[in-house]
Amino acid sequence: IDRICSRHYADFLSSSREMLKMKGSARQITAKVSEMIGNFQSTSGNLTAVLKELQEVQKEKDNLRSLQEATNTCKDIAALMVKTRNQIESDDHYSAMRTIEVIRTEVASIRVKSLAA
């Protein structure tokens, strides 16, 4: 019994040492993981702010594109109005009426939307 116990006691001591080493390694890993979580949380906060800013810039870009399209349509309508006036002054009333119908169609295509949204 003494020999068996002494043989297993040595194994027990070496296993205990290994477990203490593993406990120290586990503490180091826990500290590293905690540090990584902190870094990730601070970085993700910055990333969220950048994404919000990017969305705002994209919205401004879309608003400017819509404004430019509406402005171009208004310019075309103004040209058609000048053409209509010239047709009326030259007594070409039938052509003027057709041009007015084109103007009505163009005006209906303009979508005005608030740029503050």
Pick 107 or 115 by higher pLDDT.
107
Q: pLDDT of 66-114, one tens digit each?
A: 888 888 888 999 999 999 999 999 999 999 999 999 999 888 877 665 5
Q: CA 105, 108, 114: angle at the middle one, nearest 5? A: 155
- Res 115: pLDDT: 52
Q: What's the start-to-end Cα distance of the chain, in Å?
A: 86
